[in-house]
Amino acid sequence: MGGIGKTTLAKKVYDHFPIRYHFDIFVWVTISQEFQYRNVLLEALHCVSKKNPKEYDEMYDNELADLVQKSLKGPRYLVVVDDIWSTDVWDSISQIFPNRNNGSRVLLTTRETDVAIYANTSNPHKMNLLDLDNSWKLLRDKVFGLEHDHPPELEEIGKKIAEKCQGLPLIISVKSLLVIQINA
């Protein structure tokens, strides 16, 4: 589901120090709905190379793909492919990431269970909606900040607002901005 927190969780994993420690090279590509193979290659190159992106303007897609593959061949890589929509898209980009059997990993996020299974994830992690308690905690922290207590008289109405967010962090984030604006 959109807004359930897939990108947020993937970013936490990607940035988590004990995880980073296991890898030598890091690539993050976001797949938009208007998928463009070339953009994925450019995004990947941006992560692995310090070259001026202008240098890629004159190159063909297969040359760019070659560059990405070469830079991922030696080191142990962690690649995040965020928000992949279809198995076709996975088919067109999966060969960019060589399987070296050296502990490298591709972590992908998707709204579609069949894409997760197709991409050979033996045990996809399914995200759950937040329960009411965690919805309220998220709303409270977003509105008042982690370091401040919330005014106790606002707890009842706050919980009612949280309940209306149906456990989706995205709705809670948007609602928290509205509450902050009304307060300002």
Ligand X SMILES: Nc1ncnc2c1ncn2[C@@H]1O[C@H](COP(=O)(O)OP(=O)(O)O)[C@@H](O)[C@H]1O
173 binds, among Mg ion, ligand X, none (CB under 5 to 8 A by kind): ligand X
8 binds, among ligand X, Mg ion, none (CB under 5 to 8 A by kind): ligand X
Is residue 139 a contact point for ligand X (CB under 6 A)? no
Q: What are phi and psi of 81, to 5 degrees?
A: -110, 105
Interface residue with ligand X, options 7, 30, 69, 87 (CB under 6 A):
7
Q: Residue 99 gets which letter from DSSP?
A: -
CA separation for the pair 30, 39 (Å, rounded): 9
Is residue 49 a contact point for Mg ion (CB under 5 A)? no
Is residue 146 a contact point for ligand X (CB under 6 A)? no
Instruction: Tell me the two tokens of residue 123.
Output: 């045990």
Is residue 30 a contact point for ligand X (CB under 6 A)? no
3-state helix vs strand vs coil in the chain, percent to 5: 55, 10, 40
- What is the footprint of ligand X within residues 96-125 (CB under 6 A)? none
Cβ neighbours of 115 (radius 10 Å): 20
Compute, in degrees rounded to 10, the torsion defined by CA atoms 45, 38, 34, 26: -20
- For residue 178, the minimal CB distance to ligand X (Å) is 14
121 binds, among ligand X, Mg ion, none (CB under 5 to 8 A by kind): none
Is residue 173 a contact point for Mg ion (CB under 5 A)? no
Question: To which residue do tokens 């008042």 refer?
Answer: 144
Q: Which stretch binds Mg ion (CB under 5 A): 18-26, 75-83, 118-126, 143-151?
A: 75-83
Q: What are phi and psi of 107, to 5 degrees?
A: -110, 120
- For residue 118, the minimal CB distance to ligand X (Å) is 19
> Total residues at the site for ligand X (CB under 6 A)?
11
107 binds, among ligand X, Mg ion, none (CB under 5 to 8 A by kind): none
8 versus 69: smaller Cβ distance to ligand X: 8
Interface residue with ligand X, options 3, 75, 98, 124 (CB under 6 A):
3
Amino acid at 22: H
Q: What are phi and psi of 72, to 5 degrees?
A: -95, 0
> How far from 11 is each of 53, 64, 148, 175, CA to CA, in Å?
24, 25, 26, 23
